[in-house]
Amino acid sequence: MIEFDHVHKAFGNHVVIEDLSLRVEDGEFFVLVGPSGSGKSTLLRTVNRLTHIDRGQVRVHGKDVATQPIEALRRGIGYAIQSVGLFPHRTVAENIAAVPHLLRWPQKQIDERVAELMALLKLDEPGMADRYPDTLSGGQAQRVGVARALAARPKIVLMDEPFGALDPLTRESLQASVKAIQKETGTTILFVTHDMDEAFRLGDRVALMLDGRLAQVGTPLELIRSPADERVNEFVGGTRAYLRELAVRCVRDSMRRDESADGDAIAPGATLQEALGLMLEKRRDRLAVAGGGAILLADIVARPR
Amino acid sequence: MKTWLPPLILLALLVALPHAGPLFHAWLPDLSHPLYWRTSFTELALSHALLVATATVVAVVVGLSLGILATRPAGRSLLPTVRAVAVIGQTFPPVAVLAIAVPLLGFGAAPTLLALSLYGVLPVLGQTVAGLDQVPVSALHAADGMGYGRWRRLWEVELPLAAGPIMAGVRLSAIVSVGTATIGSAVGAATLGAPIVEGLVGNNTAYVVQGALLVGALALTVDGLLGFVENRIRRPPA
């Protein structure tokens, strides 16, 4: 659990975070989204004290971070950044092992954990463990970066635009990996991005940050359907926001179980966006759903139940 | 050049030169003493090497410490000064340093050691600062975020990444010292410069050649050995 309690931060006269309070629950995938300069990265860095706050309190698991030994605090929190920051003089395996190594895990345990993470993040092509970072593609490097952040099984992981520099395909694949791992392990993730689609795809809850304040906090659907004000509406995308909504909702929740359709079936866990895409591709207005039932164009358009 | 070649040449010279009297006599028949005899070449070479080694160790300790200090947040304000001193210092001829050291310390090995150390600090310092400066900021940021302490970050991240440039500085410092130590014999230090200086004063070309051959071989040996160390330290292997 991460709690921000009336946090205030200014660089000189420029206020970056203004009297901000927020609570991120255990096991939650929480996304801070906002334009550049909105203070979201700064807010993230107050958690592991890379940024010192002027007023207020940040608590991790109920304890004020300012009172904790800084190195122990940071070793207990995973951290992944856009520039990745792999150590060029260390191999992939050594990079992933960085925090367990700092925590003096036994070597055997470190080796096992590294192998596990490399499989989990699809880094298991032969010879990968002994390669140096300068031989990796951007996507591979960021996979190593994420593996390194998760290595010591932290309860909390901070991610600062980790996929910002990747091409769309690589980004989607990494988003899926991280989301799956997060669900599996119940890790609390605080994730910063300026990409609304990424925020809605990943976040259990999303906070839109504007000018150092939280404009709105809620689930992706809440932000899309009932934006708090005009600025939120504008940022979420106005009528285009409803297209984003399709990416958040899944077939299972809108389908009809008592209907059927011909042709290839779509998975019940697929998003409505994928269903609509498939309908457009096939030029049909109904699709079979794997395991029985069907989804109709009308179900996609209809106000959700 | 292969690493083992220069030490082999040096060794061969040390063995062969004392017996090369007839050779030099044949080349320069007018000289009454065609072979330097006051001290053995091996003794001079050892004393020369010891002087260089001591000076290099001092230079590395001082240069590395100053370089690290100047790149810490607390020492950042010193950085421009340190850089300027390192650059200006390089333009100083070593002879001048020696000339300043003698009035302070008298004749013998001491002023030579001081001159060599002072002059040797500069390349190490300059390269340490340059090396630490080019460590990727993202790696440092990541190290901080993961809970590397200040010293740990320095030891495990910064110094290994700066090792290449730093070793290049150490190498340069040692080689310059090999050459400069030669002049040390002018102020009474026992070095391979002795035959050279005496040869120049007494118009004995054979002495000069003997000294120069040995100094050259020693410089190549030192360069080769430190180059070998530098290659081992660089990781990933370039």
Q: What ipTM was assigned to the predicted interfaces of this complex?
A: 0.84
pLDDT tens readout for residues A266-278 = 988 888 988 998 9
**Which has the higher per-residue pLDDT, B146 or B37?**
B146
pLDDT of residue A305: 60
Residue A303 confidence (pLDDT) above 70: yes
Residue B210 confidence (pLDDT) above 60: yes
**Which has the higher per-residue pLDDT, B176 or A29?**
A29
Taking the mean position of all CA atoms in its chain, how far away is CA A297? 30
Q: How confident is the model at residue B236 (pLDDT cuts 50, 70, 90)?
A: low
**Mutation for testing the A interface, residue in B132, B146, B233 having most A CBs under 10 Å:** B146
Q: How confident is the model at residue A194 (pLDDT cuts 50, 70, 90)?
A: very high
Q: What proportion of chain B, given as a percentage, has pLDDT over 70?
A: 98
Of A72, A73, A88, the CB nearest to B161: A88
Number of A to B CB contacts under 8 A, please give it.
64
Residue A103 confidence (pLDDT) above 90: yes
Supply A269's token pair: 């866990």
What is the value of pTM for the model shown?
Answer: 0.84
Cβ-defined contact of A70 to B147 (cutoff 8 Å): yes
- Write b or e for each residue in A178-201: b if 16 or more Cβ atoms lie within 10 A of its Cβ, otherwise e: bbebbeebebbbbbbbbbbbbbbb
Of A72, A81, A158, the CB nearest to B141: A81
CA atoms within 13 A on the CB side of B28: 16
Q: What number is the average pLDDT over the span A223-245? A: 84
- CA–CA distance, A275 with B206 (Å, rounded to integer): 94
Q: Secondary structure of chain A: what % helix, strand, coil (to 5)?
A: 40, 25, 35
Q: Which strands make up the sheet holding A14-24, listed edge to edge?
A: A14-24, A2-11, A55-60, A63-64
- Residue A144's Cβ-count burial label (10 Å; 0-12, 13-18, 19+) is buried
DSSP string, A34-83: --TTSSHHHHHHHHTTSS--SEEEEEETTEEGGGS-HHHHHHTEEEEETT
- CA–CA distance, A269 with A274 (Å, rounded to integer): 10
pLDDT of residue B238: 46
pLDDT of residue B106: 84
Which single residue is written with the structure tokens 């079979």? A288
Q: What number is the average pLDDT over the span B47-55? A: 94
Q: How confident is the model at residue B235 (pLDDT cuts 50, 70, 90)?
A: low
- CA–CA distance, B173 with B131 (Å, rounded to integer): 15
**Nearest residue in A to B137, CA atom:** A85
Chain A CB within 8 Å of residue B77 CB: no
Cβ-defined contact of B136 to A71 (cutoff 8 Å): no
Which residues make beta-bridge pairs with A64? A59
- CA–CA distance, B107 with B98 (Å, rounded to integer): 10
pLDDT of residue B180: 87
Which amino acid belongs to residue A152?
A: A
Kindly report the average pLDDT of chain A as a whole number. 92
pLDDT of residue B1: 57
